[in-house]
A and B are shown apart, each in its own frame.
Chain A
Amino acid sequence: MLEMLSPFFHLLLFPGGLFALACGLLLKGVDRKVAARLQRRIGPPLHQPFVDLIKLWHKDSSVPETAQSRVFAWAPHVGVTGMALAALLIPIGGVYTPSGAYGDLLVLLYLLAVPAVALMIGGAASGSPFGAIGFSREMSMMLAYEGPLLLALLSVALKVGLATGGVATFSLAEIVRYQQAHGALLFDPVMWPAVVTFLFVIPANLGVVPFDIPEAESEILEGPLLEYSGKELGLFQIMSALKMVVVLGLGVTLFCPTAPGGLLLSLAWFIFKCLVLMVASVTVVRSATGRLRIDQAFSFYFKWPEALGVASLILVLTTRNFP
């Protein structure tokens, strides 16, 4: 009986669902506070993202007359569902290991594209020209960063797979187990190009400056989000909070999933690692840069992260230990 309920528990409460949402909103709160401090502002309190979400939940939402209302209303639900499922797949070292029945790294890779697709559908269905521009920009960004992301994931899969006697392993549990036994990949120089590639992908994947181009507020008025209000907008915020946890949690899983032991301590350690990763790859980056144009961002991704990803793959393949 309990075993039948456990997928629901994992999806709705822990580690997906409520826990992931609270975690994501907390991360966003810290991000805003640290960014404010870096700009010598006071900044909002840590719980501001929670308050914002509750406020949106109590507001009416309006649908523009020119929108395709059904698609418009469903797009954020698709995004949230995708991310909730993805949160289910993120292992927490020493606390939670996703069952292989839920999916593996490849499923996660596909799920990671869902938020961008949801934004694209929502923007296109909103009937606003800014939504349409956001659509095309989101599409270009996806083309730009999916390549390096895939290469970084593949490097880790190959590294772990080759070391354990197979070809490439896409099992998240296996990747965590390997690192717990042999030390985190973060400290292996062979994996450093993959780490850097993944760090490059984070800002674009999470849509923050300098790569918040599809939702550029001062250029196209937040593009796809422009026409959203009330609960639907709140759903997009939930989606982006969940995505924060998923992307950062994936980074932690791939490169440093080791845990100190003890349930609460391991959990706190996981959140701490996510925080450090976020401050380094989101907060500091967005405070120190300005937004790029779409063509500049596109050519940037096709130059540096792409090259690094390929280099990382070659490095992993050439340094494997021949039996």
Chain B
Amino acid sequence: MSSYTIPVGPLHVALEEPMYFRVEAQGEMVVGLDITAGHVHRGIEALAMTRNFYQNITLTERLCSLCSNSHPSTYCMALENLASIRIPERAEYLRVIADEIKRVASNLFNCAILGHIIGFDSLFKHVMETREIMQDVKETIYGNRMDLAANCIGGVKYDLDEERSKYLWQQMERMKKHLDEIYALYCKNSFVRLRTEGVGVLSKEDALRFAVVGPVARGSGIDYDVRQKSPYAAYDRLDFEVQTENGGDVLCRAKVRLREAQQAVRLIQQCVTDMPAGPTCIDTPPEIPAGEAIAKSEAPRGELIYYLRTDGSDIPERLKWRVPSYMNWDALKSMLVGDKISDIALIVNSIDPCISCTER
């Protein structure tokens, strides 16, 4: 049978962001794949080298919507590593809270899109409605639904008073019930399972070969989580388990994401109870010496690394970051080939690609 080419993207209803795949197909089977990137290059890395350290917090927050807290917090961590700043303990807990709130919202968003792609719009609506609780939490505590503006050099810009802590706790209790229900849905519903089980399999060997990170790696049985392997903020004092699945298919990745959302809710509640009193930020403006630093964190999509080089001025000499999607999207070649055309969008969505932070 002769093969033919179909274009998927750069604008495709099921891909949230522009990414172009040239798919070689035979009948309904994918036999080859060519990924082209670069549709949303905005020159942000160059822009970062023209702005001062404080302006860059705002800039990095605008790289991407769903992991918009991971970028500025990791950038601040790199600066703090460079200047040997120890942030107040309360600020460490508050950073965890901001990160985990974004993680729940991001993971639920991805799982909702899975529902939409398999044509199960009721599931999509249900998950998005649950996610709306997290959006309300963000708006109530931070004043925004997407960009939290929570971080600053040496701490955080917000604090939780008694009333807000209580509100946060109550909302997390509400989330628990919904998350359990959603998790059971994804595990049991026959339409979800028919479409996702055994689809887009990434074996553990391939996962290691492509060095994938985040839920994609954990869905293929690789027990790797930055929060546990090299804890930052308050993660070394918090109790959580790294979630893994061994199947390596689309369903396993969705399950890992949902269980991580459940863990995140637990983490937020732990933070609210364990958080010590005290300042939320260092009180003197920091001196940033010349030098190099690296910081890494676990964004909702996986390991995020920031590299920073300074020359003693208030503008970074070089700021570079490696985002999780950069590691994950090459593995698509291994996942897609041999699967059906009807599953392309489903498999691409299962790595939760964030094109806007990958191409910046």
Contact = CB atoms under 8 A, between A and B. Distances in A.
A309 B191 CA distance: 24
B340 interface: yes
A218 B192 contact: no
A296 B119 CA distance: 15
B5 interface: yes
Given A218-B116, A292-B194, A294-B28, A40 B125 contact: yes
Contacts of B14: 218-219
A219 B122 contact: no
A291 interface: yes
B13 interface: yes
Contacts of A104: none
Contact of A217 (B13, B126, B191): B13
A46 to B, nearest CB: 20
B339 to A, nearest CB: 10
B122 A287 contact: yes
B118 interface: yes
Interface in A275-320: 287-296
Nearest to B345: A218
A290 B129 contact: no
B341 to A, nearest CB: 6
Contacts of B5: 129
B238 to A, nearest CB: 35
B338 to A, nearest CB: 14
A255 interface: no
Given A39-B122, A218-B345, A291-B119, A129 B4 contact: yes
Interface string A202-242: 00000001101100111111000000000000000000000
A287 B123 CA distance: 9
For the complex, would chain A's binding face be called helix, strand, loop or mixed by DSSP majority? helix
A217 B121 CA distance: 12
B120 A133 contact: no
A269 interface: no
B115 interface: yes
Contacts of A133: 6, 28, 341
Nearest to B23: A129
Interface in B1-24: 4-7, 12-14
A38 B6 contact: no
Interface in B113-161: 115-123, 125-126, 129
Contact of B195 (A129, A136, A217, A290): A290
A148 B253 CA distance: 38
B191 to A, nearest CB: 4
A139 to B, nearest CB: 12
A220 B341 CA distance: 8
A292 B344 contact: no
Nearest to A128: B6
A217 B202 CA distance: 26
B198 to A, nearest CB: 12
Given A290-B123, A291-B118, A296 B194 contact: yes
A181 to B, nearest CB: 43
Given A40-B129, A129-B5, A219-B345, A293 B122 contact: no
B52 interface: no
B84 interface: no
B195 A292 contact: yes
Interface in A8-47: 38-41
B120 A39 contact: no
A135 interface: no
B342 interface: yes
Interface string A97-133: 0000000000000000000000000000000011011
A293 B14 CA distance: 16
Given A136-B27, A291-B118, 14 more contacts: A39-B122, A133-B341, A209-B120, A210-B119, A213-B342, A218-B14, A219-B341, A220-B342, A287-B122, A289-B191, A290-B120, A290-B191, A290-B192, A292-B191
26 contacts: A39-B121, A40-B125, A129-B6, A132-B4, A133-B28, A209-B120, A210-B119, A210-B191, A216-B119, A216-B342, A218-B345, A220-B341, A220-B342, A221-B12, A221-B13, A289-B119, A289-B191, A290-B115, A290-B189, A290-B191, A290-B194, A290-B195, A291-B120, A293-B342, A293-B343, A294-B342
User: 8 closest Cβ contacts across the A-B interface?
Assistant: A291-B119, A290-B120, A290-B191, A218-B14, A290-B118, A39-B125, A129-B6, A218-B117
Interface of B: 4-7, 12-14, 27-28, 115-123, 125-126, 129, 189, 191-192, 194-195, 340-345
Interface of A: 38-41, 129-130, 132-133, 136, 209-210, 212-213, 216-221, 287-296
